[in-house]
Structure 1
Amino acid sequence: MQHPVGYRIDPETGNAVLTSIWALLTNSTAIFAYFHTIPAALTTAAALITGISIWQLGKRPGHEIEFFRRSARWGLRGLLTFSIATVLVGHFFGQLMGEQQPMKMAAAEALYESRSGAPLSLMAIGPFEKKPKRLSFRLEIPKLYSFMDTNSFSGHVEGIDDLQRADAKKYAAYERAHGRDPTKAEYYPIVGLNYWTFRIMVGIGIFLAALAATGLLLERRWRNGLAGLARTRAFRWAAIGGLFAGFLAHAAGWIFTEQGRQPWVVTGLLKTEDAVSKLGASTVAISLGVFIVLYCVIGAIEFWLFRRVADSDPEPLERDDDQTASVPSLAY
């Protein structure tokens, strides 16, 4: 759906027919998505271990300190390793998206005009519209986006306006086939949503890497190591925040990925408006309401279970009876 390969369109039925299973299995988009998602999931798991361990270390002066010190140390090591891997793979994944879905990446930067030496946007403020005509504020790093996208500070990157004009010509026949005016077709996603979900995803990844690096660097320098560091309010709350931040990054990344390819369900082949079922508004409202309530209940139960397990004492290790049996001593 993101980058269809290994298919042909049947001229009689109009259906897509698989022509190469190998092309499907070696789809570059799917491969990069896999190697981006797996370390991201491990990053979230490491953040969960780190957050719970730091929280426990900050409130327990007892015998469990060594247990949670070890789990916090391994959590921080995993967090640093997997967050860096996620960011690095994500960088090259972004370059691939710049080739396959340039509109998605142009919207992620709110870049309207094509240019060489394009700056990286750190923050932009404007009307929350599908495609704001102007931005009231921009904070940028000169030429960095061109370097990240093309490996050259003077590299040329396409903007939303030029991509819209090119797509309007490219898919004019598609629009006419569906009884629509090609001049009124829009081929860009909601720019503000794309822009901010991308920054939430990347920003949290960088934050978690920085949190892990800080914890590992200060461990040997801080009094009582991680146990002492966990009693500082700033680090303790940063670790607890990181516990939830990983889940937020996953949600933001998913929204960016799926919303960023709009207006397509299957990129370049089938638009969303042509794929939706013809259902009444009441049917959609009822099903959506049921799903919202259901997921809220499931989420509340999951949070309660997480909190219960995280707040419980670690179970003592039970030794084997054979190992604990006393060894006969020599009698004199």
Structure 2
Amino acid sequence: MSALDLSRLQFALTAIFHFLFVVLTLGLAPVVAFLQTRWAVTGKEVHERLTRYWGQLYVVNYAMGIVVGLAMEFQFGLHWSGLMTYAGDVFGAPLATETLVAFFLESTFLGLWIFGWNRLNRWVHTSLIWLVVLTAYLSAFWVMVANGFLQNPVGHVVEDGVARVEDVGALLSNQQAVGALLHIVPVCLLTGSVVMVGICSWHFLRGTPDVDFFRRSLRVAVIIGAIAATFAVGNGYAQFGYLTDGKELAFGGSAAERAEFQAQMEALHGPGDWTPPTWISFAWPLMEISGSLYMIVFFGLVLLLVKNAFDRFRPAWFGRFWHRFYVWTLPWPLVVVACGWLLREVGRQPWVVYGELTTADAVSPHGTATVLTSLIVFTTLFAVLAVLDWWLIARLARRGPHDLVLGSDGTGEDAEDTPGELVTAGRT
């Protein structure tokens, strides 16, 4: 493989790993905020425990995602100096804003929320988690503004071979950014719901005594999941209305259509391979089928919850089958999300900035050995973090609502845990 191929592979792995952390973080944060709001309103202990239980899973995933996000920022400058030279003023500005929002605001609010349990007024504490949600989704918006520019470069002029911002409004209202965000938000909520349903199903399989606790969790997850699946599918289809020229070939297309587009691009840009690779077309039917099935599954679960029948299937073997199904398919939305990101990025090849800068012109002039070394180091780091993340989440999820780490003050039934143990709870 060439240095260009290795650089592209590293970016693909970095982006996918980071996005898998992000999608669960964005999916769980609003759920935790909703649960804490119910606790603030009702004062019921069960709502407090719901908040702390799901909140500690959110915090672990957030912490791991931060590390991968830092690595992704680093590799932009390391391997894509041509992109930074050409479009750094336009592409880099939203990413810099996102960094300020995520690391200065979101992290500050989250830190206050984590260590504010039993110290801050209940409503002040609840407002902090909503500020975390707000800044998290603002971060997602700025990331999509940057990515939307790569997909559909608007709001800029090119002076002396360098892109400069000309119209901030056009940059912020780019359909490729806004439309993608409207699809990604419900996808994140759907992913969080699937994870919650899977964890609840595991506890029902184990014959948990905390039936009411997990039934309440399930009810929230199913309602959010049903709504999110509907919008995820609808907004996904809506993006077909503003695909850039040639992007539709990433979803399929005949040989004649590909040849016609290739001829048009050669007339504009000269010889080269200007069509998206054919292998990426597998991603679209997988996403389409998965989204439709999730709509059916979640609306079916809504009907079951009407009579609290999810954990009381008859006959019993039928219930065990479905509970196992939800446990084993828990990671599936992450696979679908990865396919969606691949389709979005690979589908615009060979361009980094569509129609303006190719990957060959954007890559840094490193040798193959240098890029291969960084690829091995980064991939190993990401794999370790991913395994550690899911191991810690599984460890905390299995412990149930009676051995909570988040919000523990060292007294009572959570006496053996302290807030500082949140990230190291897997060792106990």
- Give me the whole-angstrom Cα distance separating, in 2, the residues matched to 1:16 and 1:58: 57
Out of 81, 87, 90, the position equivalent to 2:236 is: 90
The total of aligned residue pairs comes to 253
Contact 2:258 2:275 in 1 (8 A): yes
- The equivalent position to 1:170 in structure 2, one of 268, 272, 277, is 268
Provide the residue aligned with 1:108 in structure 2: 251
Q: After TM superposition, list the pairs within 5 Å mapping 1:310-321 onto structure 2.
A: 310-315=397-402
Superposed CA offset, 1:155-188 (max 9, x none)? xxxx22211111111223xxxxxxxxx2xx1111
Match of residue 80 from structure 1: 226
CA distance in structure 2 between the partners assigned to 1:282 and 1:30 by the alignment: 35
> Separation in 2 of the partners of 1:203 and 1:74?
24
TM-score of the two chains, using structure 1 as the length reference: 0.71
Residue 227 (str. 1) matches residue 227 (str. 2): no
Structure having the larger proportion of residues in strand = 1
Aligned pairs for 1:207-226 (under 5 A) are: 207-220=293-306, 225-226=309-310
Paired amino acid for 2:331: F
1:14 pairs with 2:147? no
How far the C-alpha of 1:71 sits from its partner, in A, is 1.1
5+ residue gaps, structure 2, are 1-149, 408-428
1:49 aligns with 2:230: no
Query: Which residue number in structure 1 is paired with residue 29 of structure 2?
Result: none
Question: How far has the Cα of 1:283 moved from its partner?
Answer: 0.5
Q: Distance in 1 between matches of 2:274 and 2:259?
A: 10
Task: Give the root-mean-square deviation of aligned CA atoms.
Answer: 2.1
State the identity %.
29
Superposition TM-score, scaled by structure 2 size = 0.56
- Tell me the SS of whatever aligns to 2:399: coil
Change (3 A) 1:265 1:70: same
How much has 1:316 moved relative to structure 2? 8.4
- Report the AA paired with residue 330 of structure 2: L
Give the unaligned 5+ runs of structure 1. 114-158, 173-181, 319-332
* Structure with larger Rg: 1
Alpha-carbon deviations, 1:183-210, whole Å to 9, x = none? Answer: xx11112211x21122233332222222
Aligned to 2:153: 4
Contact 1:51–1:239 (8 Å) recurs in 2? yes
Contact 1:5-1:23 at 8 Å conserved across structures: yes
Q: Which residue of 1 aligns with 2:382?
A: 295
8 Å contact kept, 2:194–2:333: yes
Q: Which residue of 1 aligns with 2:214?
A: 68
In the alignment, is the contact (CA less than 8 A) between 1:43 and 1:83 conserved in 2? Answer: yes
Question: In the alignment, does 2:290 pair up with 1:204?
Answer: yes
Cα separation, 2, equivalents of 1:292 and 1:80: 35
Q: 1:266 to 1:218 in 2, by over 3 A?
A: same
Residue-by-residue CA offset, 1:86-115 (whole Å, 9 max, x unaligned): 110111112211xx24x22223124333xx
Q: Which letter does structure 1 place at the counterpart of 2:178?
A: I
Describe the SS at the equivalent of 1:313: helix
Contact 1:40 1:86 in 2 (8 A): yes
Structure showing the higher helix proportion among its residues: 2
Please report how far the alpha carbon of residue 242 of structure 1 lies from its aligned counterpart in structure 2 after TM superposition: 3.8
Aligned-partner SS, 1:17: strand
